[in-house]
Structure 1
Amino acid sequence: MTGPRSPEVLSAHAQPAGVGRDGVAGVDRRSHVVLCCGLTTVDAIQEVDGIPGPNEKVVARSATLTFGGPAANAAATAVAVGAHARLVTAIGSGPVADLALAGLADAGVEVVDLARGTGAAPAVSTVLVTASTGERAVVSVNATRSGALAAVPTDVLDGVDVVLVDGHHLETAIEVSRAARAGGVLVVLDDGSWKPGMERLLALVDQAIVSADFRVPVGVVPADVPASDVPATGSPAADIASGATVDGERLLRQVAAFGPRVVARSDGAGPILVLDSRTPAEVRSVTVPADPSRTVVDTVGAGDVLHGAYAAFLAGELAASDPVDVLARAAQVASESVHFRGARGWVPGYRS
C-alpha cells in the first residue's frame, strides 16, 4: 500500500480508558487497536420542534458544529470504551477541515488523512433533531465529492486487531480490507445502505452489520454464482435476482452469500438479528436494552456508537468472542448514547 503522495498522519493525545456516564464498561486494555476506514463529515446539528416544510422557517432550540460520519464516530467511540483508534479517512484542508481535525484530536483519535494537502474540504452534513422524539433527519453529500485519494500507507495496519469499514471511499476500503485479510486481521463492515460496488467489499469482510433499511439491488449476485444458475438455485442469490421481498432473516442470508461469515442486522431500538456460519444455522437475536423511565434525547450517531463499541470489544476478545455476546455489550453503549445530545454526549468529560 504505497503511492506517490504520502498522506499526513496526525497523532492525537490519548484519553483515559472509558466507562460510560451510566457505568458502561469498556475494554480491558488500551493496547487493543481498532482501525476505522471511511467517512468523516462536519455536522451542523440543530434541535428543532419539528422538521420544516416547503418555504417554512423554524427557530432551533440549540445548534452544534462538530465532526461526524460513520467511521469517525465509530473511532471516537472505540477510544471512549478504552481502545486505541486509528482513522483512515479524507478530510482535507481549510477552516472546516481544521474543525474536524481538532474534534478528532480532542476525542483521542489518530488520523490518517488521505486528502491532506489536496485542497479538498470535508463533506458537510445538516442534521435536524426533533426535540420531542430524538429522531433525526440528515442531508449530506457523503463521500461523493472527495475525489481521488492518496494510497494508504504501508504501515497503517501495524498493531491493528480489528478493521472497521463503513463502505464510503470504496476503493480505499477495498485496499485496506484486502491488506487486512492478507495479514490475518479481522474485517468488519458497517453499512446502512448499498453503494455501487459493495459486492467487491463484501467479498473481503469477515463480518457485516447492516441496517434494517439495507437492501441488495435486484440482479446483483455474488461473483461466484453463474448468472445461468441463479433462477434455479432457490438460494439467497435467487431472491436478489428476482427482486423478492425479504424479511430480516432472508436479508442476512443474502448478505452472507457475498462472503461474510457473520452477518447482523440492526433495527434501531428493535432486536439485532445475527447469523453466524460458524454455529448452527438458526438466526439469533440480541435485545437492545431500553429504560422507559429515561427520555430519548438524540439518536444521532447511535448506530455508529454500536459499531465502534462492537469493534473495540471484538478487538479485546477476537477468536474467543461470540458476536451475539459482543453485540449485546455494544448495544448497551449505543442505548446509553441516545439519552445525551450528539454521538459523544455520553462520554465522560465530553465538551460540545
Structure 2
Amino acid sequence: MSVLLAGLCTVDVVQRVAELPGPGEKTQSLSVETAAGGPATNAAVAVAALGGEAVLATVLGAHPLADLARADLAACGVRMLDLLPDHPEPPAVSAVTVRDHDGERTVVSHNAAAAPHLADGVRALDFVRLADKVRAVLVDGHHPELALAVAKWARGKGIPVVLDAGSWKPVLDELLPLVDIAACSAQFHAPGKGLLERGVPAVITTHGPDPVRWRTAEGSGEVPVPRVTARDTLGAGDVWHGALAYGTGRFGTARSDLPELIEFANEVAAERVRHAGPRSWLAAVAEKGRGVR
C-alpha cells in the first residue's frame, strides 16, 4: 500500500540545549544532528516507519546540501521523486533548537519561499506508474503547482486527499474543493467561509496535547491525546499527519470512521514525542505499524 506525499523537503540542523537561549545569548548544545524535514517529508518518514510505501514528491535539487536530506530519506525507506533534480540552488534549511527537559523547540526556516517555478517538473511527474498502488495522498501546499496537480490526479482516481493545513496559503482557495480531510493546526484560520462551507467533507483540528476535534456535515466530536512525557516535539504534528494519511489509505472509510483514524494518529504522534532526536522514534512507530498490518 502506497501513500503519495507532496510538499516541502528541508535540511534540518537540530541542536538540543539545556535551555533555549534568549536574544544575544550563546549556549553550548548537548548534541547536533541533521535530517530531512518539512511537513510532507516528516509525514513520509512516518508512513514508511508504519510499513507503508512512502512516495515523496518534492524539490531538492543538485546542491551538495540536498545530499544530506536525500541520504536520510533513503535510510528511512522513503522513495523520493525530485521534480527539479538539476536545480543548482541550495534547498530550504531549518535551524532547530530543542530544549532537553521538555522537548519544546524553536524553528527558523525559509521553507519554499524562494522555490523555482515547477510547471515542467509537475508535467514530468509520472502519475501512471503510481496509479495502481497509491491508496491515499497528502499535500502540504508549500509547492502550490505540485499540490494542485497531485490533488487533481487523486480526485480523478477516487483516491482520498489529506491536507496538512498548518497555515493559510493562497493556493487553498483552489485546493480545498479537492480535499477529503483537512487536518488543521489550532493556529489555522481561513478567511471568509469555513472549510466545511468550502466543500471539505471532514475538518480536523489538532492542538498539541489537547483533544483533537473533528467536524463533518453530520456531526462533530473530539478524541483525547495520550498523556506522555515529552522528550522532543519536533515534527510531531507532521508525524500525526503521516499516520492519518497511512490510516486513511490502509483502512479506508468502509472499515474505520474518523474518530478511529484520529485515535490511531494520536497514538503514533505520542510515540514520536516520547523519543529525543529526529529519528530515534522510528522503531517504536514501526512496532505500532506491525500491530495494524
Do Structure 1 and Structure 2 share a fold, with TM-score over 0.5? yes
**Aligned with residue 55 of structure 1, among 24, 27, 38:** 24
Secondary structure of the corresponding residue to residue 245 of structure 2: helix
Which residue identity lines up with residue 152 of structure 2 in the other structure?
Answer: R
**Matched residues in 2 for 1:36 and 1:264: separation?**
18
With over 3 angstroms needed to count, the CA separation of the structure-2 counterparts of 1:87 and 1:56, relative to structure 1, is same
Which amino acid counterpart does residue 105 of structure 1 have in structure 2? A
Normalising by structure 1, we get a TM-score of: 0.76
The Cα shift of 1:147 comes to 0.8
Counterpart contact for 2:63–2:87, Cα < 8 Å? no
Give the corresponding residue for 2:70.
101
The question of whether the paired residues in 1 share the 8 Å contact of 2:35 and 2:72 is answered with yes
Cα shift readout 1:211-231 (whole Å, capped 9, x = no counterpart):
0111123xxx4xxxxxxxxxx
- Normalising by structure 2, report the TM-score: 0.91
1:199 counterpart residue number:
173
Q: Is 1:67 equivalent to 2:36 in the alignment?
A: yes
Q: Are the aligned partners of 2:35 and 2:278 in contact in 1 as well (CA < 8 Å)?
A: no
- CA displacement 1:170-219 (0-9 Å, x = unmatched): 111011101110111110101111112322111211110000111123xx
Tell whether 2:260 aligns with 1:325.
yes
Q: For 1:145, which of 90, 94, 114 is the aligned residue?
A: 114
Matching of residue 286 in structure 1 with residue 223 in structure 2 = yes
Higher share in strand: 2
Q: Does 1:296 align with 2:236?
A: no
- Give the secondary structure class of the aligned counterpart of 2:263: helix
What amino acid maps onto 2:205 in structure 1?
A: R
Deviates more, 1:309-318 or 1:148-157: 148-157
CA distance in 1: counterparts of 2:153 and 2:163, whole angstroms: 15
**Which has more helix, going by share of residues?**
2
Q: CA RMSD in A?
A: 1.5
Alpha-carbon distance, 1:343 to partner: 4.2
Q: What amino acid does structure 2 have at the position aligned with 1:331?
A: N
Kindly report which structure 2 residues correspond to 1:201-350, keeping only aligned pairs within 5 A, or say none: 201-217=175-191, 221=192, 237=193, 254-277=194-217, 280-281=218-219, 283-291=220-228, 295-320=229-254, 321-348=256-283
Is the Cα–Cα contact under 8 Å of residues 48 and 130 in structure 1 kept in the other structure? yes
What residue number does 2:143 align with?
169
Change (3 A) 1:156 1:127: farther
Structure 1 residue 53, shift from structure 2 partner: 2.2
**Is the CA contact 1:166–1:190 (under 8 Å) kept in the aligned structure 2?**
yes
Larger radius of gyration: 1
User: Is the 1:301–1:342 Cα contact (8 Å) retained in structure 2?
Assistant: no
In structure 1, the residue matched to 2:7 is 38
On the 8 A contact 2:271/2:284 being kept in 1, the answer is: no
Cα separation, 1, equivalents of 2:18 and 2:198: 42
Count of paired positions: 279
Aligned to 2:162: 188
Give the partner amino acid of 1:332: E
Question: Separation in 1 of the partners of 2:278 and 2:33?
Answer: 12
Measure, in 1, the Cα distance between the counterparts of 2:226 and 2:21.
32
Residue 78 of structure 1, aligned match among 24, 47, 53: 47
Partner of 1:27: none
Residue 103 of structure 2 is aligned to residue 134 of structure 1: yes
Alpha-carbon distance between aligned partners in 2 of 1:128 and 1:333, rounded to the nearest angstrom: 23
Moved more, 127-136 or 299-308: 127-136
Aligned residue type for 2:164? D
In structure 2, what is the Cα distance between the partners aligned to 1:59 and 1:204?
47
